[in-house]
Structure 1
Amino acid sequence: MASKVVTDDRRIYSSTLVDAEAERSRGRHVCVVDADGFSALLRGRPAPCLELRRARTGRVRPVAAATTEARVLGGPLRARRTGRRASGDLTLDLSRLDEATAAHEATVGALIEHLSRQGVEACTNAAGAPEFDAGWSLGEDIFVAEVKSLTGAREDQQIRLGIGQILDYTHQLRSTCPSAAVRPVLVLEKRPSAVRWTALADGVGLRLTWAPEFAGI
């Protein structure tokens, strides 16, 4: 919706949003999503329905609906099926990419099963929340996890990336959900070769674990 040209000077809405607002005024719910929301829907993730508000410029500015406090966890998490692609003339090594994707989803699936055996349901992120790989609640604590495969990639690079991502997600969630006790978790496909990562994780308040045992969770 961000690229729509305004056709209603009084309300400063695009033609599409004028129609949507008219339908809403008649009591019919019309869901409005932006580019990020549409991208989330294509990936099977939830997307927030946006309110229609007047903007100062000639561009449409749908905004997220106001809530008392954002939610962290969404619906049940399911591991995605993966396949292999023909590389053709591409210079990118698709076989290694497929292996890494398969390892990631296998780790997600193993994590779901591990939690299920404890009577805990793994969840997706809630609409509007950062797109962490898995989340679950235990008592008053909400755990959010980033899953990293170590197949077909440099181990240290993957772990550094995962640490940065999950700490960023946790910071965002603690800002938008101040009453939630959010606990960050980095889940690896397998035990890392360097033992220093456990000490580093402890130092930044991050729980580090790996398949297949998932010790500590």
Structure 2
Amino acid sequence: MDVKPCDGWVHTLSEQTLCFTGKVLMDGEWVIRKDCEEMIQQFGANSKPDFSRKITVVVHGDLASQLVTDSHREYSKKLVLAAREREQGHHVCVVDGNGFVDLIDGNPAPCRELQRAQGADDGVFVLARSGDGILGGPLHRRKVGQHGTGALSLDLDHLDRGTRAHEATIAALIEHLAYQQVEVRGHARNAPRFDAGWSRADDIFIAEVKSLTGASEDQQIRLGIGQVLDYTHQLQLGRTDIRVCPVLALEKRPTEPRWTSLTEANGILLTWAPVFAGC
């Protein structure tokens, strides 16, 4: 397989050669290595028990943000070797249990950053990413099809225009944030289905995007406010380690200025294309 530079994501299991550090924590349940090895075969991947230069992905069974220090234990040794390979210019991707499940489900998984522990040749940090459990893989503009003609052609035409406007607004938001070197991502596998998300330092932004074409403007904005408040509430429940910032991104400036004060009063950033002020 041709080795491509890592862009921070493992996009597929196909043609990968995996090495497992042991059992893998998959959505709260430990799965033994043998069962994991059987899972990946149907996706065109294979595995090897020992680390070598043929390995393209190491699956770290525990969660991220853990310090691995005991080089005599098998899982530690493999991560230390992966870190050494990276230092020598041969990038080996590392995913955790959540990332492994993402790949099994056909979604990209974040390639984990490794960091040497200060003063320890055999110590490696497996680092978390901002937005873990909330932000999923990179978000791309979807292609929107055109409905055929028929008795419902008028309604479907309105739906198409609204959908195209929705996707165009998402594309504009992606471009706007990419200019600032901020990657827009979808929702994580088990997170609420918000339209777009990104992080800045420790702050996580989740956005609901609403088109105003061919629809009741008031209805669309009310719906967006309710959705993004609900998503934020779900994500903050029982968590004090993150700050989730709700965003309502519109296709264009709303006709009535009252929406700005209403959203501000509820802690929502209201913004719209093409400038996306505040984002």
Same topology, TM > 0.5: yes
Show the counterpart of 1:207: 269
Aligned length: 165
Gaps (5+ residues) in structure 2? Answer: 1-31, 41-104, 109-130
- Whichever of the two has the greater Rg, that structure is 2
Q: CA deviation at 1:180?
A: 1.4
Aligned counterparts of 1:162 and 1:103: Cα–Cα separation in 2 = 15
Aligned counterparts of 2:250 and 2:222: Cα–Cα separation in 1 = 12
Aligned counterparts of 1:103 and 1:176: Cα–Cα separation in 2 = 36
**Alignment of 1:122 onto 2:184:** yes
Gaps (5+ residues) in structure 1? Answer: 1-22, 32-40, 47-68
Show the counterpart of 1:144: 206
Show the counterpart of 2:171: 109
Aligned counterparts of 1:191 and 1:179: Cα–Cα separation in 2 = 34
Show the counterpart of 1:170: 232
Show the counterpart of 1:17: none
TM-score using structure 1 length: 0.69
Aligned counterparts of 1:199 and 1:111: Cα–Cα separation in 2 = 22
Which protein is richer in strand relative to its size?
2
Show the counterpart of 1:93: 155
CA RMSD of aligned residues (A): 2.7
Q: 1:86 to 1:166 in 2, by over 3 A?
A: same
Q: CA deviation at 1:132?
A: 0.5
Q: Quick one: higher RCO (CA 8 Å, sep 6+), 1 or 2?
A: 1
Tell me if the contact between 2:107 and 2:137 (Cα under 8 Å) persists in the aligned partners. no
Query: Which amino acid in structure 1 is aligned with residue 264 of structure 2?
Result: D
Show the counterpart of 1:58: none
Identical counterparts, % of pairs: 57
Q: 1:127 to 1:177 in 2, by over 3 A?
A: farther
Greater shift in the superposed pair: 80-89 or 99-108: 80-89
Q: How does 1:1-217 map to 2 (within 5 A)?
A: 26=35, 28-30=37-39, 71-90=133-152, 93-175=155-237, 177-217=239-279
Q: 1:202 to 1:27 in 2, by over 3 A?
A: closer
